[in-house]
Structure 1
């Protein structure tokens, strides 16, 4: 996998606010973890692409100016970490673990502050 190209596509999909494009990278049974999910869902772990779509749709509705700038990409075995800054210049990291089919099976978001 070309991790730099993946990060570029990830950034572009988020900046376009295109949920179909974003979710195309995720498996149907993905597990997503984020402390920020607590505010909208009451839990920090989301199971399944459909639930993830509902969460991100609500999050995008609340943040119409959301945008990301990739700062760096760290490679691992079957995974990568995307370091990025959002529209408020908050540093964050998205850790993505891929299945054998190349789709994300597990994702975790961490934010500074």
Structure 2
């Protein structure tokens, strides 16, 4: 990974905690593809696959509207080849991972992943 994963995670966290969707989107390519089981729950007629910044903007804006107390605490940051994984706790204490694949310093593919222990509260409390 060319950029510093820790700095990326700090900027990502700070933007989310400020509820600044545009600051979060600044790290994403225009043609990004993002998947999230929460998107499938939150958005009517969604299969959980969001294509492009406009789709992400609409999803995250709606998520923040529905979860005004959203807050993330980064637990760990993992780096791979052009990949960063941000492990964090959401405002309800649920553990979440963002798996982000980058090209030229921007996220081109991302996946919100949630604890698979059958904890429906973990999914319901997430925004992403």
TM-score range, shorter chain: over 0.9
The separation in 2 between residues aligned to 1:17 and 1:105, in whole angstroms, is: 21
Q: What is the SS of the residue equivalent to 1:36?
A: helix
Root-mean-square deviation (Å): 0.7
Report the counterpart of residue 80 of structure 1 in structure 2: 84
The residue number in structure 1 matching 2:34 is 32
Please say if 1:60 is aligned against 2:64: yes
In the alignment, structure 1 segments of 5+ residues that lack a partner are: none
Distance in 1, Cα, partners of 2:114 & 2:89:
9
Aligned length: 112
* Runs of 4+ that moved beyond 2 A: none
Superposed CA deviations along residues 75-94 of structure 1, whole A, max 9, x for unmatched, are 10001100000110000000
The structure that is strand-richer by fraction is 1
Task: Please show how residues 102-113 of structure 1 align to structure 2 within 5 Å.
Answer: 102-112=105-115, 113=119
TM-score normalised over the length of structure 2: 0.85
Distance 1:75 1:22 in 2: 19
1:50 aligns with 2:81: no
Deviation at residue 39 of structure 1 after TM alignment: 1.5
